[in-house]
Amino acid sequence: MPALAIETLGLTKDFPVGFWLAKKRRALEGLSVQVEAGEIFGLLGPNGAGKSTAIKLLMGLIFPTAGTARILGRPISDVRMHGDIGFLPEQPYFYDYLTAAELLDYFARFHDLTSADRRERIANMLKKVGLDGAGKIQLRKYSKGMLQRVGLAQAILHDPQVVILDEPMSGLDPIGRREVRDIILDLRRGGRTILFSTHILSDAEMLCDRVGVLVGGKLRGVGSPDQLVGMKVSGMEVLFELAADPPAAASLLLAKAIRTGDRYRLEVPVAELYKTLDALRAEGAQILSVTQIKGTLEDYFLDLVGADRAQPAAVEVSSR
């Protein structure tokens, strides 16, 4: 297996827009990324960043205006390598006249699996994605989250080397998100390569070995989540309790704190942390926790976009 599972070179996509389709909108501009075999790579970006466009290009659903890409060393126009790829589309929708088991069986047939093998895999897979017992229900009766689970099941049923997931956690409840995260980590443990897109920073942070940040169709940075977001700790959060109710004329510090029940929460700049802690101790406070406040995804993106406007070159973050 080549060291690079996925490699794109200057991948660019213009969509015709307007009534006469004469105008062009650039959805993706010169995307060049390399996903190494065995890693979890996240495409992180706000809505409309071009994540789905990039993924659809990789899957051959749309064709690039410019640039090329290879998966497992083969050009993306070669559908034979699809035998080694699993794909979950964004907001998946499937034949609603089929049951989940029938759909999985239909798709599995394209992978030349014997009927006994298919049956066994499907039973296991339905269990794995939490659709145990729902396999015989027609998909028209499925909820969005259930469809998402079926979508994940069909993507990994044939045990592919490379798994490409477009917003795999969307539409899922917290338990579902957790299960999907576990499945993704499980895949990596099995030596698979996973590329997934998300607009949720915490998902990327929890799962990814490396993240590519896409804003406005351009790749703004590639690196591990810590490198990307850790760069920007915007402050410290101190959680504390007071032994007694604060005096009527509370100190300036206490006045700034936000009270919920018995607890107080205080945000301070990093530089003032120790000074604040000393002051709180003087007030007789019991410190419960001190945590970094990292920029939210929104702050982070606004920052990136702002920096980009001031200086056209892409933000370079060291890669592995």
Partner 1 sequence: MTRTGIVAWNTFREAVRDRVLYNLVFFALLMMATAVLVGQISIGIDSIVIVSLGLSAVSVIGLLMAVFIGVGLVYKEMDKRTLYALLAKPIRRWEFLLGKFAGLLLTLTVNTAAMAVGLFLTLFYVNRALHSADLVVLTAVYFILLKLAIIVALALLFSCFTTPFLSICFTAGIYVTGLFVKDIRSFSDITGNPALDRVAVWFSYLLPNFQNFDVMGAAAHGRAIPGAIVAQNTLYAAVYCAIVLAAAAVIFSRRNLK
Ligand X SMILES: Nc1ncnc2c1ncn2[C@@H]1O[C@H](COP(=O)(O)OP(=O)(O)O)[C@@H](O)[C@H]1O
Q: What residues make contact with Mg ion under the rule CB under 5 A?
A: 51-52, 90
Q: Which is nearer to partner 1, 129 or 242 (CB)?
A: 129
Read off the tokens for 37.
Answer: 């075999």
111, interface contact from ligand X, partner 1, Mg ion, none, CB < 5-8 Å by kind = partner 1
Residues of span 42-101 touching ligand X by CB under 6 A: 45, 47-53
Distance CA(131)–CA(149), nearest Å, equals 7
Q: Which residues neighbour 106 within 8 Å (Cβ) at sequence distance 6 or greater?
A: 95, 98
Q: What is the DSSP string of 105-153?
A: HHHHHTTT--HHHHHHHHHHHHHHTT-TTTTTSBGGG--HHHHHHHHHH
In the chain, the DSSP E strands lie at 4-17, 23-31, 34-36, 40-44, 66-71, 74-75, 85-88, 162-166, 193-198, 210-215, 218-223, 233-242, 258-260, 263-268, 285-294
80, interface contact from ligand X, partner 1, Mg ion, none, CB < 5-8 Å by kind = partner 1
Residues of span 16-45 touching ligand X by CB under 6 A: 17, 25, 27, 45
Q: Please report whether residue 125 would count as binding ligand X according to CB under 6 A.
A: no
Q: Which is nearer to ligand X, 47 or 311 (CB)?
A: 47
Distance CA(36)–CA(194), nearest Å, equals 9
Q: Minimum Å distance from CB 35 to ligand X?
A: 17
79, interface contact from partner 1, Mg ion, ligand X, none, CB < 5-8 Å by kind = partner 1
Q: Please report whether residue 165 would count as binding ligand X according to CB under 6 A.
A: no
118, interface contact from ligand X, Mg ion, partner 1, none, CB < 5-8 Å by kind = none
Distance CA(320)–CA(36), nearest Å, equals 10
Contact positions toward partner 1, by CB under 8 A? 56, 59-63, 79-83, 85-89, 91-95, 97-98, 106-107, 109-111, 151, 154-155
59, interface contact from ligand X, partner 1, Mg ion, none, CB < 5-8 Å by kind = partner 1
Read off the tokens for 67.
Answer: 């640039």
| SS3 call for 248 | coil
Q: Which is nearer to partner 1, 196 or 300 (CB)?
A: 196
Binding site for ligand X (CB under 6 A): 15, 17, 25, 27, 45, 47-53
